[in-house]
Amino acid sequence: MTTQPLSWTELEALDTIQRDRINGPTNPQATLRLFGQKEPLLTLFRDNHAWCPYCQKVWLWLEEKQIPYAIKKVTMFCYGTKETWYKALVPSGMLPAIQFDENFSAKLCQAEAWYKQKVPSGTLPGVELDGKRLTESDDILIALEQAFGPLTVSMLAPQAIPLRRLERLLFRAWCSWLCQPVRSARQEQFNREQFVAVVAKVEEALAATPGPYFLEKFSVVDLVFTPYVERMNASLFYYKGYSMREENPGLAAWFDAMETRPTYRGTQSDFHTHVHDLPPQMGGCWENGEPEARANQQRVDQGPWLGLPDVGYPEPENSRVEALHRVLKHRGNIIRVNPTDDQMFDEALRCALTNLMMGEACEPPQGSDNGLRYLRDRVNVPRDMSIYAGKRLRMALEKTAALVGDAQGPAIPIRNRYDQNPAEFSAETPDGAAEKSLPFGLNWLRG
């Protein structure tokens, strides 16, 4: 016996989420971050989906330093066509980019008290930044340091440079293991050992400090490591059966420490998102076919999602409500782009949300299982919601789909992620009605 689905009105009554995207905790939906100030000093151009590792690095720095900034979101080549307006600004299309306000220096002078908190000497930047536009994440961070002071230590500090080189060494070893097809088990083992040897050096670097971070205190060095180590943890678990976080105590403690920071939690992704956004970005990810990898793939794709080593902090009490809130905000587009009939999927989605909020089985219409799993596979963290909210929504979608069948939705593409192309979500038919263009994904991109 199953319960009846709640109506949209009844579901809306359960949505108690209230968020301040401008001045509150780090969040990927914001287009303006002020931290209590009156206006932004610069603009960060980052990718729509929060997939770009270099964008994450700059994003984290601005959040940690609480620099007022605006955000403009740009399409990555792997999931769509770069916007014309952005190519006019940055012909290469490279992300991230920042642009300082035309009156940047004057605004700093006007915000003297705030600026002296960031730069106690009160000395203004030694380079001309008014209206300046920069790409390349390291160059951006160095320019930001010149403007606002370093995050604990400078990118150019003697203690930072060797660790930055170590991060690049780790990156290259990861690419060699993950992104190059091998012809023999011997070559696979060599690539694995090469990577593990570099990880041992990372463990030594972490062990050399009294705390969990790469230096005595949290610093810009941790931000340098964060984006790709997060992606290594996901991709190697899924494609190689290697759990970076579980097999290395120093990195485990480092992940735990990073997850105490609201800034990191606001940008943190999960295994499912990363393992399916990386192949088109990296030119392919090659699995080794080992039993552990196959078991991990099954778990990441089909659950159970709780307990995966992609997050270690306790689940917030409002994770289900957050998932509900985000679906309610965009339910029209979620239903529109789903491969299942709109009326059928409307009911199926309400069944899944009823399960999410009430914990009771709610049988959806026959034939809706593939549509529910289509949505399950395209929940994107952190773009759509935070990590535990994403897990809870996937669980509810899978439990509800399983009541009526085992049909899967269209497979997630490997060569590109055009199923997530932002342009498809604003397409309209000549009469003004929204066009149902398939198999494209979710329009949860506009906040």
| CATH code of the domain in which 85 resides | 3.40.30.10
CATH number at residue 250: 1.20.1050.10
Q: What is the pLDDT of residues 73-99, one digit of tens each?
A: 999 999 999 999 999 989 999 999 999
Does residue 280 lie in a domain region? yes
**Residue where a domain terminates, one of 114, 148, 182:** 148
Please check whether residues 129 and 214 belong to one and the same domain: no
**Residue where a domain terminates, one of 108, 127, 148:** 148
pLDDT of residue 129: 66
Please check whether residues 183 and 104 belong to one and the same domain: no
pLDDT at residue 112 above 70? no
pLDDT at residue 446 above 60? no
Does residue 137 lie in a domain region? yes
Closest CA to 378 of 439, 297, 317: 439
pLDDT at residue 444 above 50? no
Please check whether residues 169 and 131 belong to one and the same domain: no
Give the residue, 134 or 265, on which the prediction is more confident: 265
Please check whether residues 85 and 192 belong to one and the same domain: no
**Residue where a domain terminates, one of 148, 179, 201:** 148
Please check whether residues 351 and 236 belong to one and the same domain: no
Closest CA to 158 of 221, 209, 202, 211: 221
Please check whether residues 103 and 220 belong to one and the same domain: no
pLDDT of residue 125: 47
Whether the CB-CB separation of 351 and 399 falls below 8 Å is answered with: no
- Give the structural domain span for 83: 32-148
Please check whether residues 45 and 177 belong to one and the same domain: no
Does residue 3 lie in a domain region? no
Q: What is the pLDDT of residues 171-194, one digit of tens each?
A: 999 999 999 999 999 999 999 999
Does residue 21 lie in a domain region? no
Q: What is the pLDDT of residues 210-228, one digit of tens each?
A: 999 999 999 999 999 999 9
Q: What is the pLDDT of residues 13-69, one digit of tens each?
A: 999 999 999 999 999 999 999 999 999 999 999 999 999 999 999 999 999 999 999
Please check whether residues 173 and 295 belong to one and the same domain: yes
Please check whether residues 165 and 228 belong to one and the same domain: yes
Q: Count how many domains the chain has.
A: 3
Does residue 312 lie in a domain region? no
Please check whether residues 168 and 210 belong to one and the same domain: yes
Average pLDDT, the chain: 91
Whether pTM > 0.75 for this model: the answer is yes
Question: What is the percent of the chain with per-residue pLDDT over 70, rounded to a whole number?
Answer: 89
Does residue 447 lie in a domain region? no
Please check whether residues 97 and 130 belong to one and the same domain: yes
Does residue 298 lie in a domain region? yes
Please check whether residues 174 and 111 belong to one and the same domain: no
pLDDT of residue 103: 77
